Amino acid sequence: MSWEEFTRRFSVSLNPQQESAVQSVEGPVLLLAVPGSGKTTVLVTRLGYMIYARGIAPERILTVTYTVAATKDMAARFARQFGQEMANRLAFRTINGICARVIQYCSWKTGRTAFSLLTDEKRIAAMLSGIYQHIEHGFPTESDLQNVRTLITFIKNRMLSEAEIQAMEKDAEVHLLAIYKAYNAALREQQLMDYDDQMVYAYTMLRRFPWLLEHFQQQYPYICVDEAQDTSKIQHAIIALLAARTENLFMVGDEDQSIYGFRAAYPEALLSFETQHPGAKVLLMEENFRSDAHIVEAADRFIQKNTLRHEKHMKATRPKAHVIREIPLGSRKAQYSYLLKVAEDCTRAYETRTDTSAESDERKACMSAGASLSTDVTAVLYRDHECALPLIDLLERNGVPYRMRNADIGFFTNRVVLDILNIIRLAENPLNSELFLQLYYKLGTYLKKQEAQSIAEISQMEGLSVWEVALQHGGLNAYTKTKIRALQTHMRNLLQEPAGRAIHRIVEYMGYREYLERSELKDTKLEILRMLALQEESPVRLVERLEELRHILKEKPQDPDCPFVLSTIHASKGLEYDRVFLLDVLDGVLPAQLPKDLKKADREELEAYEEERRLFYVGITRAKEELYVFTAKNEPSAFCDELFQRKKKTGGTVGSWNARGSSCGSTAGGWSEIGVRGGGRGNTMGGWNTFGSRGG
């Protein structure tokens, strides 16, 4: 079947760059596809072209995608265009799916029983908890366990040596190598493997047994890889082995969108593709069909400053209709009040357009004017899950609908957050000797472990406050008792204060700040905790509210039709929204950190910083029509300075980039201009609070 016959039969309409990619079937090919360029369309069309136009049996083609959901989506898209029969014959697999087949086949041929795959995360957590307690001599929080689990995944996917693991220990804040070895030993002892081991074992088997590698090379002479920038080093190594016989490897990705470094993504494989695969072709898909031209031009200009990338430019196919708006507010917390109004407006628009009652005059007007009844989707995107917690708290208090992608409760199990809450609990119940033993060394009591254990035992036996017992303890010197007496007073007083002031007392006056510095623990969660505390009249009520929010995040049903979406930038990857608000575009949040001197930065610092830039780039390019970026008064924002092409942030409005809200489907008069003279809280305009500063 000729190309013309193929395009006519299957109604294929592509631009020249897409056509070139579809028709590149033989040899190693790297396709670099910018956001919104139609890469999935090209992947699916190329599979159809290989089968119908080039006569390649579908059973000979292996298509590797990043997630199980992606395999199902691609198979469904192929079936819609080229038929279910051929879709059933194609192999859409995740890398773990391939590795499972390698291990299964090897086990069958050798007669050896493979280790069982451990999929129960609770069992893994229990195993790691025991190891953590033994090595670290303390009880891990859920966040501690998740952090260790992520680090172990990183090690196995990056194929790190013992020396490289040891080099990670300072930042890891645990004895990582010892935990890693103990965990692997425990798995082997029980003849188990986790998902990361599944790849390690498959890779080892393919290298050890030439007959095994040859079997899979002959089975799949054509290999297609999607989202190559998110693929890890060991995954790339497995794919390279499988493709080595024919080199018919078609890899699709974009190093500019590689944002999963913490999961061991290895975008270097894209940068070295031509070296690793001599004679390789590198193709580009540079046309963005998704976004307003203003967004495309600004995003491309921003990402061009990265150095660890292929040379390419994203080009707009749509006209310029909406300028990117900066929303400079008086403070970080003002974002949430602003977005509450946005969410309310979205909800009103959605209810109006879906109301079928006779009383809906606005709906009748829309219909008579020929307007669509579909509601545009507004997304609030942010770097980390906790960035959205104050907004979620506000939305819940006001009963405003929203939906959330990939909710996470890690904030509530963070060690620092738990410590603050437990200190409040101990203040409320000074007979809780268990909490006392968890906290005494974090509060500057100057108690030795044996003394603290003695106090806890007597408190439990006599039913007395731990502070009373400590002050009556004959073995303590006067200085220690003075410290404990002061701490007891602080405990009483904090219960009478607003929650925000109580947190300040705990951190700055009760010795907790010194503990953080001594332990080299990060206090990044404290600002979010303080913002949540501002809504509560007492610290006890704050503890209760955080439990409520944790339950909400775990149990809240998600309405798929809700037009107001909350998502991390990571979870939004591959998606698009009509309107995007980027939260917390502030130095220290996004980006999380800036090199002191970029010119003197080492490779590791440069890689980390450029991934922060890529994260911002991915966030920008989720927007189809409108993009809004939040900044705060007197808070530097290197990314905004660059996005809006200014040398230095001066605060307030910046020329034509002054922020105006969008209607979110309602009348234009419902939004007010941001950038009020003065600073701090502004006045009320049309029932809307406005915030901002000029020249601050």
Percent of the chain at pLDDT > 70 equals: 90
Whether residue 423 lies inside any domain: the answer is yes
pLDDT of residue 604: 86
Which CATH number does the domain housing residue 140 bear? Answer: 1.10.10
Whether residue 553 lies inside any domain: the answer is no
- Could you tell me what percentage of the chain is helix, strand and coil, using 3-state DSSP and rounding each to the nearest 5? 55, 10, 35
Angle value at C-alpha 526, between 122 and 546, nearest 5 degrees: 55
* Distance in angstroms (rounded) separating the CA atoms of residues 329 and 630: 7
* One domain, residues 158 and 254: no
Task: Name the nearest CA neighbour of 310 among 258, 241, 239.
Answer: 258
Beta-carbon contacts of residue 65 (< 8 Å; ≥ 6 apart) = 71, 74, 92, 93, 94, 226, 227
How large is the average pLDDT for residues 563-576? 95
Query: How far is residue 202 CA from its own chain's centroid?
Result: 28
* One domain, residues 427 and 528: yes
Give strand pairing partners of 88: none
Parallel, antiparallel or unpaired: strands 623-632 and 577-582: parallel
pLDDT band at 135 (very low <50, low <70, confident <90, very high): very high
pLDDT of residue 347: 87
Parallel, antiparallel or unpaired: strands 577-582 and 403-404: unpaired
Kindly state the DSSP code that residue 102 receives in the 8-state scheme.
H
* One domain, residues 452 and 365: no
- By the 10 Å C-beta count (0-12 exposed, 13-18 middle, 19+ buried), 119 is classed as exposed
* One domain, residues 377 and 425: no
Residue 666, pLDDT > 50, answer no
Pick 44 or 364 by higher pLDDT: 44
* One domain, residues 590 and 483: no
Whether residue 77 lies inside any domain: the answer is yes
* One domain, residues 220 and 367: no
pTM of the full predicted structure?
A: 0.86
Yes or no: say if 314 and 290 are a contact pair by the CB < 8 Å rule: no
pLDDT in tens, 88-111: 999 999 999 999 999 999 999 999
Angle value at C-alpha 379, between 378 and 381, nearest 5 degrees: 160
Whether residue 391 lies inside any domain: the answer is yes
Pick 673 or 120 by higher pLDDT: 120
pLDDT of residue 357: 55
Kindly state the DSSP code that residue 317 receives in the 8-state scheme.
-
* One domain, residues 403 and 530: no
* One domain, residues 383 and 491: no
Residue 29, pLDDT > 70, answer yes
Which DSSP helix (H) or strand (E) runs through 325?
A: strand 325-329
* One domain, residues 41 and 72: yes
Give strand pairing partners of 379: 565, 580
Which CATH number does the domain housing residue 90 bear? Answer: 3.40.50.300
Residue 362, pLDDT > 80, answer no
* Distance in angstroms (rounded) separating the CA atoms of residues 426 and 422: 6
Task: Name the nearest CA neighbour of 630 among 339, 290, 401.
Answer: 339
Which CATH number does the domain housing residue 619 bear? Answer: 3.40.50
Backbone CA torsion sign across 490, 494, 497, 502: positive
Q: DSSP readout, 555-574?
A: HPPP-TT-SEEEEEHHHHTT
Backbone CA torsion sign across 533, 537, 540, 544: negative
Two structure tokens written together for 320: 């310029």
Tally of domains in the chain: 4
Two structure tokens written together for 5: 């016959």
pLDDT in tens, 457-505: 999 999 999 999 999 987 888 999 999 999 999 999 999 999 999 999 9
* One domain, residues 167 and 214: no
pLDDT in tens, 303-356: 999 999 999 999 999 999 999 999 999 888 899 999 999 999 998 887 776 665
* Distance in angstroms (rounded) separating the CA atoms of residues 205 and 208: 5
* One domain, residues 347 and 364: yes
- Stated length of the chain: 696
Parallel, antiparallel or unpaired: strands 681-685 and 688-691: antiparallel
Whether residue 304 lies inside any domain: the answer is no
Where among 257, 285, 313 does a domain terminate?
A: 285
Range of the domain at 509: 412-548
Beta-carbon contacts of residue 182 (< 8 Å; ≥ 6 apart) = 131, 134, 135
Residue 285's φ and ψ, nearest 5 degrees, are -125, 105
pLDDT of residue 354: 63
Weakest-pLDDT range from 81-85, 233-237, 330-334: 330-334
Whether residue 493 lies inside any domain: the answer is yes
Where among 193, 222, 240 does a domain terminate?
A: 193
Crossing angle between the packed helical segments 334-354 and 389-397, to the nearest 10 degrees: 50
Which CATH number does the domain housing residue 457 bear? Answer: 1.10.486.10
Q: Give the SS3 label for residue 86.
A: helix
Q: DSSP readout, 628-676?
A: EEEEETT---HHHHHHTT-SS--SS--GGG--B---TTS-GGG--BS--
pLDDT of residue 406: 86
Whether residue 315 lies inside any domain: the answer is no
Query: How far is residue 615 CA from its own chain's centroid?
Result: 9
Pick 677 or 435 by higher pLDDT: 435
Beta-carbon contacts of residue 100 (< 8 Å; ≥ 6 apart) = 117, 198, 202
Whether residue 303 lies inside any domain: the answer is no
Give strand pairing partners of 568: 382
* One domain, residues 90 and 171: no
- By the 10 Å C-beta count (0-12 exposed, 13-18 middle, 19+ buried), 184 is classed as middle
Beta-carbon contacts of residue 115 (< 8 Å; ≥ 6 apart) = 187, 188, 191, 192, 193, 197, 201
Where among 161, 193, 225 does a domain terminate?
A: 193
Yes or no: say if 322 and 579 are a contact pair by the CB < 8 Å rule: no
Yes or no: say if 499 and 542 are a contact pair by the CB < 8 Å rule: yes
* Distance in angstroms (rounded) separating the CA atoms of residues 47 and 24: 11
Round the CA-based radius of gyration of the chain to a whole number and report it: 29
